Amino acid sequence: MAQVDYKALKKGGFMRQIQKDRFSLRLRIVGGQIKAGQLKKVYEIAEQYGQGYVHMTSRQSIEIPFVKLEDIEVIKKELHEAGLQPGACGPRVRTITACQGSAVCPSGNIDTAALAQEFDKRYYARELPHKFKLGITGCSNNCLKAEENDLGVKGGILPIWQDSKCTFCGLCEAVCPAKAIAVAKEERKLEFKQAACTYCGKCNKSCPVDAWDGKSGFIVSFGGLFGNRIAIGKQTIPIVFEEDKLHVIVETALQFFADNGKPSERFRNTLDRVGWDAFQIKLKEVL
């Protein structure tokens, strides 16, 4: 009887269960989106090859438990025919998570779904010293908790005030959580303190006369952890407005981890050990 390569199976999305020769199949889901027809296929596989249920993971993926070892190859074939793939596990870039973003959510400042698809194409399953999580959230409401990821992206807007349109109603001042806006109604004056702005976009979205324009961008955090050790990711660079530059930053972070990380060491622990200053130097080289 051939020896089972459990490590290869895990790498390919089939995670060993406590039950002998039973596996939980993790699917490759990008940004939490799956087509209705594909969801039907997941149902069929769970019914035929599992125990009739699925598990929704904390990172927007789907797992089908109780898959038998002898059924793995036929399941892979059925998944492929439906445009689905097993997910990546082990020391590599994991499932890209994202909220619904500006394509659906009124609060969204960036198109998170499109960015998640691009991240998936560029970075998914890349081999690294340990697992690496990328999360994208559309605004400062932070539904995807960007700072919990090894690298998190949060949508932001740099507000640009257009005085010719403003009625000085004061609504933007009222909704600004950072108190970066002060309106003098009688004097018809407005002061915007950009240094205090958190790029939440609330002024832009609330203005009844469109007196606030804005420029969408990406707020990037590094080194988040939410497991055996809990650490909040740090924003060490200013908001980024060009997507090309964002990808350069992601590539720089992944390469730094690949060059400096030890096996089974998370990115945050690498940064703490090697030094955040060393990482910042690498970022400055590409910014």
- Encode pLDDT of 154-177 as tens digits: 999 999 999 999 999 999 999 999
Domain residues for 266?
Answer: 97-157+210-286
Query: Rounded mean pLDDT of the chain?
Result: 96
Give, to the nearest 10 degrees, the angle between helix 243-260 and helix 267-274: 70
pLDDT at position 99 over 60: yes
Task: Give a yes or no: residue 252 inside a domain.
Answer: yes
Whether 151 and 249 map to the same domain: the answer is: yes
What is the pLDDT averaged over residues 21-28? 96
136 part of a folded domain: yes
- Phi and psi for 113 in degrees, rounded to 5? -65, -45
* pLDDT range class, residue 227, cuts 50, 70, 90: confident
Number of domains comprising the chain: 2
Signed CA dihedral, 115, 116, 118, 123: sign only: positive
Predicted local confidence at residue 3, as pLDDT: 82
Q: Please check whether residue 88 lies inside any domain of the structure.
A: no
Q: What ranges make up the beta strands (E) of 14-89?
A: 14-16, 22-26, 55-56, 62-68
Residue 177 lies in a domain: no
Of 18, 47, 81, which residue constitutes the final position of a domain?
81
Is the entire prediction scored with pTM above 0.75? yes
- Given 81, 108, 131, which residue is the final one in a domain? 81
Residues 104 and 29 in one domain: no
Same domain flag for 102 and 77: no
**Bridge partners, 154 (sequence order):** 137, 219
CATH number at residue 64: 3.30.70.3340
Residue that finishes a domain, picked among 81, 114, 134? 81
Say which CATH number the domain at 111 has. 3.30.413.10
Question: 152 and 229, same structural domain?
Answer: yes
pLDDT digits (tens, 9 = 90+) for 67-77: 999 999 999 99
Average pLDDT of the residues in 93-113: 97
